[in-house]
């Protein structure tokens, strides 16, 4: 599948991979900073942003899409930075592009299986809007607020609502969400890997450290206190400093 992407800058390539319900713009605050000294490649994963839609969403398929893009752009010595679902895509790519990837950053996700319940409310509201053809933004916001979805999450979701249409494939994400939550352990990847954990997030717990180090023996874990799952958006300067320091090691 030919993915939509955005290129900035010149030099060693950094490939940015967003999370579920997102788009290539979600990591723009990081890409913009690195475009001064690197070539940044921001990617819309399948069923998101302006990339094609498909009934299939699993990490093998998503990683194959990104690998195809890397081949097409003839990228070498790649630095991968992935958030949430994009982090799992990045980890899967370590098995497919092992010689091509130099370093990897995984933001607030672990190489483990998660429960469906995490985004159940969001999916229920989105499916209700889709089924009932609700396209009025005020009505959508009202439904989300009534369901207890917090304001930052609503704003994040609405970034992918353009011209009364959702840019992500709600039906496919809902039907394939079990695959998004799932994880099959991979062979140990020995190159440098940085995991960034939001201190207020439940996505990387202390119990997940064993799984991280088993599959990424040279991993380093940094905790950003006071940040939730979208740590890069909530604490951008701290994350940028962590990234700069780690890339210079």
Contact (CB, 8 A) for 212 and 221: yes
Q: Give me 181's structure tokens.
A: 């939550």
β-pairing verdict for 5-8 and 39-43: antiparallel
The alpha carbon dihedral of 68, 69, 73, 74 has a sign of negative
The active-site residue out of 18, 48, 229, 232 is 229
Beta-strand pair 78-83/219-224: unpaired
Q: What is the DSSP string of the chain?
A: ----EEEES-SSEEEEE--TT--GGGGHHHHHHHTTTSEEEEE--TTSTTSPP-S---HHHHHHHHHHHHHHTT--SEEEEEETHHHHHHHHHHHHSTTTEEEEEEES--SS---GGGGHHHHHHHHHHHHTT---HHHHHHHHHHTT--HHHHHHHHTTEETTEESS-HHHHHHTHHHHH---------S-EEEEEETT-SSS-GGGHHHHHHH-TTEEEEEETT--TTHHHHSHHHHHHHHHHHHT-
Which residue among the candidates 84, 94, 201, 232 is catalytic per the annotation?
84
Active-site annotation holds for 229: yes
**84 part of the active site:** yes
- Catalytic site residues? 84, 229
């Amino acid at each position: 599948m030919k993915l939509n992407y955005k290129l900035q800058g010149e030099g060693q390539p950094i490939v940015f991979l967003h999370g579920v319900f997102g788009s290539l713009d979600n990591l723009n605050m990081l890409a913009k900073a690195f475009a001064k000294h690197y070539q940044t490649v921001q990617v819309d994963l399948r069923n998101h942003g302006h990339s094609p839609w498909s009934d299939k969403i699993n990490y093998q398929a998503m990683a194959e899409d990104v690998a195809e893009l890397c081949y097409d752009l003839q990228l070498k010595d790649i630095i991968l930075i992935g958030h949430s679902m994009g982090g799992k895509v990045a980890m899967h790519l370590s098995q497919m592009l092992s010689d091509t990837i130099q370093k990897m950053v995984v933001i607030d996700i672990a190489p483990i299986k998660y429960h469906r319940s995490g985004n159940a409310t969001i999916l229920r509201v989105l499916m209700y809007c889709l089924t009932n053809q609700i396209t009025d933004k005020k009505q959508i916001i009202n439904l989300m607020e009534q369901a207890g979805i917090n304001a930052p999450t609503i704003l994040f979701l609405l970034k992918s609502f353009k011209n009364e249409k959702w840019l992500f494939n709600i039906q496919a994400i809902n039907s394939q969400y079990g695959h998004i939550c799932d994880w099959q352990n991979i062979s140990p990847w020995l190159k440098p890997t940085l995991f960034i954990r939001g201190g207020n997030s439940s996505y990387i717990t202390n119990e997940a450290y064993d799984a991280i180090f088993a599959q990424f023996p040279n991993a380093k874990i940094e905790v950003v206190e006071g940040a939730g799952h979208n740590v890069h958006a909530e604490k951008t300067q701290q994350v940028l400093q962590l990234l700069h320091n780690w890339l210079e090691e």
